[in-house]
Amino acid sequence: MKMQRTIIILWDYLHYVYKYAWCEKCCRNMPMYLFPCFRDTQIGDIVTVEEDQPLSKMVCFNLLKATSTKKKFQKFSDWMSAHFLKCNKLYLMCYALSTLLNALKTLGKDLLREKKKKKKKKPATSYIIAIIQ
């Protein structure tokens, strides 16, 4: 018996990776219960869901609201693509600034090391102990 009154939604979200300080686009398929009052929903509709007590091993979400306009989704996807371009440009600028700062820091550290090395290379004072003729 297949899952009755159950639909699968595709959840797109951004996952922030702390190690590299950037976001990656992820998606996840989630099964959820479809109430009988939402029978007229079609594939491609935008839905609002809520988490509830698990109805089965897999299903723990309920449908709250469904909007059947694909134009809104297209506008949202256009906005997201423009937003990603802005974020990528901003990320590249931040990356360039961070690499420049890192280069300056390493240059400063190298200069400090050279100064310390110069201090260590001072001529040592020597004393005459004996004169042999």
Residue 62's pLDDT is 79
Question: What is the rounded CA–CA span in Å between residue 48 and residue 41?
Answer: 12
Q: What pTM, to 2 d.p., does this model score?
A: 0.45
Contact 42, 53 (CB under 8 A): no
In sequence order, the β-bridge partners of residue 27 are 12
Residue 122's pLDDT is 44
**CB 5: neighbour CB atoms within 10 A?**
13
Mean pLDDT of the chain: 67
pLDDT digits 0-9 by tens, 57-94? 888 777 777 776 555 555 555 555 555 555 555 555 55
Question: What is the rounded CA–CA span in Å between residue 59 and residue 123?
Answer: 79
More confident residue, 124 or 73: 73
Provide, rounded to the nearest whole percent, the portion of the chain with pLDDT above 90: 0
Highest mean pLDDT among 36-50, 74-88, 119-133: 36-50
